């Protein structure tokens, strides 16, 4: 009888552990590495998360223009949707808790919007065929619909490249660093040197937080701020440099302070 009781208690603990392992998690997105890979802070601890079941373009996919542009579009979509926002992470028992790199495997939701599924619907990625997961049938339907409609990766290359070029410029241009807002700033003694358009060299503390300014503007902005969208003279500087110039943060895009 005692042995049966011990086994029952042990089994209960195992079930409880499994329940906790696959319980939904709430957290804040602090960085977007790629369209399908992010960093989330949960209860004060940071985790790298692979969006389960979707694979957005990588360099190894090839060097054609459309692939490069879709990689940028996928990352921008994920940034616009969830960066600095609270999300819900849902695990899948069939897929398991983590991938081979140790990243959490999760479906990511903001409200009722399923980010993994939306990436597929908009043609920003393919279904991960190497992984078993419970929503695979649905994900394949989303991919098939995107192919039929010519979305993202599945569009007519020349036409799609032209559309993306207007949004992103040259596909080979180096992307601005996606600052990890969860990372601590470098020591205040660290300095960097930047040469201005006039040839003047300035030295300033470098926290790694970049903002964007115009030659005649009185404020500093995020890259995608509408106030500088049509400007031909945009400069990328640190927050410290912007403050040294006496510039104020834009109230519309709310850049780092």
Nearest to 221 by CA among 181, 250, 200: 250
C-beta separation of 164 from 73 below 8 A: yes
Residue ranges of the chain that CATH labels 2.40.50.90:
18-168
Query: What does the pLDDT profile of the chain (257 residues) look like in tens digits?
Result: 555 555 555 554 444 444 445 689 999 999 999 999 999 999 999 999 999 999 999 866 767 888 889 999 999 999 999 999 999 999 999 999 999 999 999 999 999 999 999 999 999 999 999 999 999 999 999 999 999 999 999 988 877 777 777 666 666 665 555 667 766 444 433 344 444 444 444 443 434 578 888 878 888 888 778 777 667 678 888 888 888 888 988 887 788 87
Distance CA 254, CA 77 (A): 19
Q: Global pTM?
A: 0.64
**Which CATH number applies to 18-168: 2.40.50.90, 3.90.380.10, 3.90.950.20, 3.40.50.880?**
2.40.50.90
**Count of beta carbons in the 10 Å neighbourhood of residue 36:** 26
Residues ≥6 apart with Cβ < 8 Å to 127:
53, 54, 55, 120, 136, 139, 140, 143
Distance CA 240, CA 244 (A): 6
């Amino acid at each position: 009888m005692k042995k049966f009781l011990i086994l029952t208690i042990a089994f209960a603990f195992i079930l409880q552990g499994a329940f906790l392992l696959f319980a939904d998690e709430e957290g804040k997105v602090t960085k977007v590495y790629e369209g399908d890979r992010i960093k989330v802070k949960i209860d004060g601890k940071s985790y790298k998360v692979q969006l389960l079941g979707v694979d957005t373009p990588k360099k190894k996919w090839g060097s054609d223009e459309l692939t490069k542009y879709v990689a940028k579009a996928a990352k921008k979509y994920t940034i616009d949707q969830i960066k600095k926002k609270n999300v819900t992470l849902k695990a899948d028992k069939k897929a398991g808790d983590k991938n081979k790199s140790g990243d959490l495997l999760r479906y990511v939701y903001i409200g009722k919007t399923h980010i993994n599924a939306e990436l597929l619907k908009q043609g920003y990625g393919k279904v991960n065929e190497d992984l078993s997961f419970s929503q695979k049938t649905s994900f394949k339907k989303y991919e098939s619909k995107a192919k039929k409609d010519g979305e993202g990766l599945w569009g007519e290359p020349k036409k799609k490249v032209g559309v993306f070029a207007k949004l992103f410029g040259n596909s080979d241009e180096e992307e601005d660093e996606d600052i990890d807002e969860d990372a601590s700033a470098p020591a205040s003694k660290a300095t960097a040197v930047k040469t201005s358009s006039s040839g003047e060299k300035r030295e300033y503390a470098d926290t790694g937080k970049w903002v964007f300014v115009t030659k005649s503007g009185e404020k500093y902005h995020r890259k995608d701020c509408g106030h500088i969208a049509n400007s031909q003279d945009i400069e990328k500087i640190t927050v410290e440099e912007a403050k040294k110039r006496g510039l104020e943060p834009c109230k519309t895009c709310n850049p780092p302070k």
